[in-house]
Chains A and B, each alone.
Chain A
């Protein structure tokens, strides 16, 4: 009888401990990326792939190549992002224009479509993520998510998201999730 009770306690503890352990595993969690997609880190993104200076809203800014990331899809198409030195911009744009996004494919961000092209983007303080065309006009604004569990956040990184084909663009602890049209 005692042994049986111990087994019950043991099993319960195992389930509880495991559940809480997994529940608190730092993001990103979830399914691995599609087998043939490749997540690109900053060291993978050379000047051959991403311009070291980028044009946006009337002037150029330097790309922070140490703070870059991307996805190379199985068919070779790319989504690339990097932070930029936007110090030359007026203050209202400095707050919004933090990075440069290049996508060769149509992607969906929180249900909104982003056509292939080059864009400016920024994570705003009120949990908003904004994408702007090269003229500085908003083309997309969605709610971003704050990841309190990530252990050592970075200025920018792209990691696998929740579910196959989903990827997360992180800026520090804030992220948005995107996936490709048809994926």
Chain B
């Protein structure tokens, strides 16, 4: 009995849909587009359709700029016919022109002083679903010293703890020497409970990043006081909820572009110890013949929420008004914001467990339209519901559009949704090379340029929800390895986990995943929150390519520049990244954008589209610098700095 995937049919083969029509590879302009672009104004057309049809559609939708209509018709038809002819040729084999580099990851968490235990329910038996889900990871610079710090939410147990002995989340201050100091109590963040995810944003634009921690129970907004301490302002801000909601993902988002970040919360199930069935007691309380904790099927889904920032330190629940509610039922986990259709307005994606995913398109008038099904991200390519856990968005094909990778339940693979533009996605998991591993249960996921090649790979953190599966011969285990994919730059990825050192193959039940260059040495680290274990911090000890890092400071836009899109234009195309709150698995990565440059000594052209709409262009930025860019006035040279040496306790190339 499968609590999540019971309604799904085993997927024996994944038949690529559009890839049959447009051979996989980095998404290039279609043949027709390329042909016509020489004559006509560029427009966006559906690149998943047959080229002939697209040629005709193109013809029908574009204004005639040639001298005569007949000429236009002829050119378009000729282009369509030529491209159709070209399509009859057998698809090219994926020429693996890129060889993965030497990569060697070490888990340096212990060396760095990240030693607190994450307590999350039972380790050999879980009575309730609250013990399954685990928690996120956060990398953010809370004290503005230019060195990212770490926050790790913590959980609890069903039995609870005596007063004063309950575990709390942990804030680790970066000592700038490869170590961290636990400053939780001093910072005012020692709070016990079933913490889930966390996200950061500067809701009052005072220059210091504030922190939201989601809970089963009251989600908390912490105001950053700017002196190393935080204050719980939840009630004062109007975020107190009447019931013990189970919020999971969170994202700060300036959905109305008024320069003040609003807050989106995704919610999982309506849960209480009193009403939840016990293992074996209900239809959704066994899995593959063993009694396990029940849900989420059979439980009432949570309800997502959007809070508008009033600009005076308070928020107003606009969930109904904005049409976030009602939406299809969703057991909501990770939320992720991105301007998927490049209209300048941020959209919201929610990974839903055992239910169709949600994609809220921003209508630019304070409302959203849920359109996951129309956009092609509600289900997998065969039309079946998956069990979405984690999310990442990134431009892995260098076309300037943000694609999505979603992690799912066991007996299923992660899903790669290729963004075709215009809120159209295609599930290209099979051709991307991620359909092969199906026996692990995915959580945290990040597009991750771990060698600074400029082409993001993918890191996935796994772990089953049921400790009871261990020793049952079910082909899975509670603790599972990570998986690392290298971007081969042709639309496909290679699994290089086995060649990346033993650390990634060690078994953990991982959940949250966040990225950041913690030591300002040009290497991005990956922080993982593990169930009932200490965290992991992965560092690639092998040499990496050149890079630039960009910290954006909004002036008219929100101070943390959440929603800003930065595009690196080079001979390799247009590589876009977005300043984002949320993602991973209910996690928060460093807000600085890290662009690998490979061997390039400069970033040729950087285009910043601020949330306010202002577009700024920077050119020929020398590599290996951490740039601070202030909206409207370019690089702040007083805050820009070069690369630091890797701390001795961290650097140990193999």
Contacts and interface: CB of A to CB of B under 8 A. Distances in A.
Q: Do A and B come from one complex?
A: yes
Contacts of B20: 148
Interface in A79-109: 83-88, 94-95, 98
A155 B56 contact: no
Interface in B1-46: 1-3, 6-7, 9-10, 12, 15, 17, 20-21
A6 interface: yes
B329 A17 contact: no
Given A98-B7, A152-B376, A20 B383 contact: no
Interface string B374-392: 1110110111110000000
A87 B77 CA distance: 53
A24 interface: yes
Number of chain A interface residues as a range: 35 or more
Number of chain B interface residues as a range: 35 or more
Contacts of A137: none
Interface stretch (A8-16, A27-35, A68-76, A159-167): A8-16
Given A10-B77, A16-B81, A24-B50, A154 B17 contact: no
B15 A17 contact: no
B6 A85 contact: yes
A173 interface: yes
B328 interface: yes
Nearest to A65: B329
A122 B52 CA distance: 37
Nearest to A146: B15
Nearest to A86: B6
Given A66-B356, A85-B7, A172-B383, A21 B283 contact: no
A143 interface: no
B80 interface: yes
Residue among B78, B375, B384 with max Cβ neighbours from chain A (10 Å): B384
A77 interface: no
Given A6-B74, A13-B77, A21 B383 contact: no
Nearest to B53: A21
B237 interface: no
A64 interface: yes
Interface string A119-135: 00001010000000000
Contacts of A83: 7
B17 A151 contact: yes
B284 A13 contact: no
A98 to B, nearest CB: 7
B55 interface: yes
Given A14-B77, A85-B6, A88-B1, A173 B382 contact: yes
A172 B6 contact: no
A124 to B, nearest CB: 9
A154 B377 CA distance: 11
B373 interface: yes
A157 to B, nearest CB: 8
Contacts, number: 113
B373 A154 contact: yes
Contacts of A67: 385
B15 A155 contact: no
A21 B49 CA distance: 9
A104 B49 CA distance: 39
Interface in B298-341: 298, 328-329
Contacts of B112: none
B6 A87 contact: yes
B108 to A, nearest CB: 42
Contacts of A51: none
Contacts of A116: none
A154 B52 CA distance: 26
B17 A13 contact: no
Given A6-B74, A24-B53, A88-B283, A155 B385 contact: yes
Contacts of B376: 151-152
B84 interface: yes
Residue among B283, B298, B383 with max Cβ neighbours from chain A (10 Å): B383
Given A16-B84, A20-B52, A173-B382, A87 B9 contact: no
Nearest to A84: B7
B83 to A, nearest CB: 10
A10 B74 contact: yes
Nearest to B282: A88
A13 B81 contact: yes
B6 A170 contact: no
Contacts of B482: none
B126 interface: no
Contacts of B53: 17, 20-21, 24-25
Contacts of A125: 9-10, 12
Nearest to B87: A20
A18 interface: yes
A139 interface: no
Contacts of A62: 298
A161 to B, nearest CB: 17
A61 interface: yes
Given A87-B297, A151-B17, A20 B373 contact: no
Contacts of B328: 66
A153 interface: yes
Interface in B35-91: 48-50, 52-53, 55-56, 73-74, 77-78, 80-81, 84
Residue among B81, B298, B355, B381 with max Cβ neighbours from chain A (10 Å): B81
A153 to B, nearest CB: 3
A44 to B, nearest CB: 14
Contacts of B78: 13
B465 to A, nearest CB: 15
A94 B6 contact: yes
Nearest to A61: B283
Contacts of A173: 15, 382-383
B649 to A, nearest CB: 50
Contacts of B52: 16-18, 20-21, 24
A21 B329 CA distance: 37
A149 B21 CA distance: 10
Contacts of A98: 7, 9
A174 to B, nearest CB: 9
Interface string B146-160: 000000000000000
Contacts of A123: 9
B56 A17 contact: yes
26 contacts: A6-B74, A10-B74, A13-B78, A17-B55, A17-B80, A18-B56, A24-B49, A62-B298, A66-B356, A84-B7, A85-B283, A86-B6, A87-B1, A88-B1, A88-B284, A94-B1, A94-B6, A148-B20, A149-B17, A152-B374, A152-B375, A152-B379, A155-B385, A171-B9, A171-B383, A172-B382
Interface of A: 6, 10, 13-14, 16-18, 20-21, 24-25, 61-62, 64, 66-67, 83-88, 94-95, 98, 123, 125, 148-155, 170-173
Given A21-B52, A125-B9, A173-B15, 9 more contacts: A10-B73, A13-B78, A20-B50, A20-B84, A87-B284, A94-B6, A152-B375, A155-B384, A171-B383
Interface of B: 1-3, 6-7, 9-10, 12, 15, 17, 20-21, 48-50, 52-53, 55-56, 73-74, 77-78, 80-81, 84, 283-284, 297-298, 328-329, 355-356, 373-376, 378-379, 381-385
The list of the 5 closest CB pairs from A to B, nearest first, reads A153-B383, A87-B6, A172-B383, A88-B283, A21-B53
